[in-house]
Amino acid sequence: SQTIHQWPATLVQPVGSPLSLECTVEGTSNPNLYWYRQAAGRGLQLLFYSVGIGQISSEVPQNLSASRPQDRQFILSSKKLLLSDSGFYLCAWNGGKNTEAFFGQGTRLTVV
Amino acid sequence: DQQVKQNSPSLSVQEGRISILNCDYTNSMFDYFLWYKKYPAEGPTFLISISSIKDKNEDGRFTVFLNKSAKHLSLHIVPSPPGDSAEYFCAASLKGGGATNKLIFGTGTLLAVQP
């Protein structure tokens, strides 16, 4: 069966520090991968998606970047965190068009 | 620009009664719709979906209705035990790059089922 792992679960980082959140998927190959963010009082905002290794599409201009160095690995990064980067970050995968996406457990990021 | 909207941020229902969650969308290119349930500090879990060529899909206690002309969908949960208290998100699928689809989520509705 397929599983998705996301870590860490919680993270407190100072403003200006770098960020690296990692997501890996097991039990499938060539998944579509997604990063979402849930900010307080807002829905789930799509940040990035990837259809394959090295292929990243950005949905909104921001202080974050994403990379996919391996087929089942998706990384969310920042060189310098801002206070506004605080939120609940979720990684997800699906197997193709019009299929449900499966989510990781999320990372609560607090920038102080 | 919020393409998928859930205009009720919260909803309260009595245990055992029906819960009806609503969702509106603006983009006529959406061709697949989904509902997710989310508990605090956890990832969303998939509940039910519907293709744009259908107007109803039923799975156990969950029924989703789609009204394309009104660009509106709803999720009916019958009955509603207290364990259904959670945040519910609707999502719509839009073709992205390559062979993928992007899931655009609504703002969520917090459902409280009162015992």
The model's pLDDT over A24-50, given as tens digits with 9 standing for 90+, comes to 999 998 899 999 999 776 789 999 999
**Tokens representing residue A84 in the block:** 């506004």
Give which of B2, B45, B100, B104 to mutate to test A binding, by max A Cβ within 10 Å. B100
Cβ contact, residue pair B97, A57, below 8 Å: yes
Could you identify the residue written with the tokens 């989510």? A103
CA dist., res. B33 & res. B63, Å (int): 13
CB pairs under 8 A between A and B: 80
Is residue B97's pLDDT more than 60? no
CA dist., res. B20 & res. A21, Å (int): 36
| Across A93-97, A106-110, B67-71, least confident range | A93-97
| Across A1-15, A84-98, B39-53, B73-87, least confident range | A84-98
State the pLDDT at residue A15. 97
Residue from A17, A15, A36, A7 nearest A79 by CA: A17
Closest chain A CA to residue B103 = A46
- The Cα of B78 is separated from the nearest Cα of chain A by a number of Å equal to 22
Distance (Å) of CA B61 to CA A2, B17, B80, B91, B114? 25, 12, 9, 19, 18
CA dist., res. A75 & res. A67, Å (int): 5
Q: Is the separation of the CB atoms in A61 and B61 below 8 Å?
A: no
A109 contacts on B by Cβ (under 8 Å): none
- The Cα of B22 is separated from the nearest Cα of chain A by a number of Å equal to 15
